[in-house]
């Protein structure tokens, strides 16, 4: 996605990967943690070096890059977690312009209209140039501090993915026929199945990084588990006489947490449900007789 964005802007782009791959522009097969001679030459002349790699690779590559790239060059990370890299930049590359970008969507969806979380590690003219490029490409730049980014990512990514994957794990344990489920699934369930299918069809390393790399992700998963236990206790056999009122009170607290965006998200849900495709009138093996 960034290669296309930069190439379209008129920049000359060189990609580096341990694997040989087709790419727009020049490509070098090399390890960014231990670049070969040709890659070091390319890095030493680059205006911008963008690390679209895992956190482990980015942290290992940063000290190497700090000794190769020009002092006025821009270092960019696209990590799902920002605090560790931000601290590392201040420690090993304090003089370099540096910024963290986190597209909050799968690149295949395209940049236009979508949010890009932005953490400025060390400001400079190339930082503003890159942000303007993202805006011109249709991206919505949302500026946050590194620690705030990680807390928000724990809620918006780690919590969400954990909830969907836990739903999938629970579904796999239940004795239900998937074809029948497909035929009669109400809209909320259909949306959950769609979310589950998208995540498990994606790259496992991405979802692993979100869960294992964010130091606040365990807190989000703990809150998710506590939420399930809370509602289980309210409706479990032998519940208290006040359980129904307590259940309504719990929904009130959640409703209050949505604040002024309650109506916006309710309307969005209505719009999503209205767009859901309907299964065929007769699904093979469901409600048919021969």
CATH match for 2-144 among 3.40.640.10, 3.40.50.720, 3.30.470.20, 3.40.1260.10 = 3.40.50.720
What is the reported pLDDT for 278? 84
Query: Which residue in 109, 114, 108, 104 sits closest to 137, CA to CA?
Result: 114
Give residue 286's pLDDT band: very low, low, confident or very high (50, 70, 90): low
The pLDDT assigned to 285 comes to 58
The C-alpha angle with vertex 189 and arms to 186 and 193, in degrees rounded to 5, equals: 135
Give the whole-angstrom CA distance, residue 74 versus residue 122.
9
Q: How confident is the model at residue 175 (pLDDT cuts 50, 70, 90)?
A: confident
* Per-residue model confidence (pLDDT) at position 20: 81
- State the pLDDT confidence band at 144, using cuts at 50, 70 and 90: very high
Looking at residue 45, its pLDDT comes to 97
Q: Give the pLDDT of residue 290.
A: 45
What whole-number distance in Å separates Cα of residue 203 and Cα of residue 108? 13
Note the pLDDT of residue 209.
87
Q: What is the structure's pLDDT at 22?
A: 65
Mean pLDDT lowest among 90-104, 200-214, 222-236, 261-275: 200-214
**Rounded mean pLDDT of 132-137?**
97
- Residue 130 CB contacts under 8 Å (≥ 6 apart), including other chains: 48, 74, 76, 99, 101
What's the rounded mean pLDDT across residues 237-261?
Answer: 93
What is the model's pLDDT at position 289?
Answer: 46
pLDDT (average), residues 137-158: 97
């Amino acid at each position: 996605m960034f290669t296309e964005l930069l190439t379209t802007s008129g920049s000359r782009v060189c990609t580096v990967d341990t694997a040989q791959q087709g790419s727009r522009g020049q490509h070098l097969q090399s390890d960014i943690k231990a670049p070969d001679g040709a890659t070091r030459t390319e890095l030493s002349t680059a205006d911008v070096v963008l690390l679209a790699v895992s956190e482990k690779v980015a942290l290992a590559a940063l000290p190497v890059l700090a000794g190769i790239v020009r002092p006025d060059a821009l270092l960019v990370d696209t990590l799902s977690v920002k605090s560790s890299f931000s601290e590392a930049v201040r420690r090993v590359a304090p003089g370099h312009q540096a910024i963290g970008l986190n597209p909050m969507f799968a690149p295949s969806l395209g940049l236009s209209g979508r949010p890009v979380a932005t953490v400025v590690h060390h400001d400079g003219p190339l930082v503003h140039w890159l942000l303007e490029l993202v805006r011109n490409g249709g991206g919505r730049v949302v500026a946050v501090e590194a620690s705030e980014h990680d807390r928000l990512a724990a809620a918006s990514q780690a919590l969400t993915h954990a909830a969907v994957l836990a739903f999938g794990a629970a579904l796999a344990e239940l004795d239900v026929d998937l074809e029948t489920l497909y035929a009669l699934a109400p809209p909320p369930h259909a949306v959950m199945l769609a979310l589950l299918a998208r995540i498990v069809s994606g790259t496992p390393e991405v979802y692993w990084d979100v869960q294992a790399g964010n130091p606040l992700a365990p807190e989000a998963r703990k809150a998710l588990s506590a939420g399930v236990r809370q509602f289980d206790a309210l409706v479990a056999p032998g519940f208290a006489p006040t359980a129904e009122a307590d259940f309504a009170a719990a929904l009130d607290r959640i409703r209050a947490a949505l604040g002024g965006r309650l109506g916006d998200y309710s309307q969005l849900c209505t719009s999503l449900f209205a767009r859901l495709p309907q299964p065929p009138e007769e699904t093979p093996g469901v409600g048919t007789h021969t």
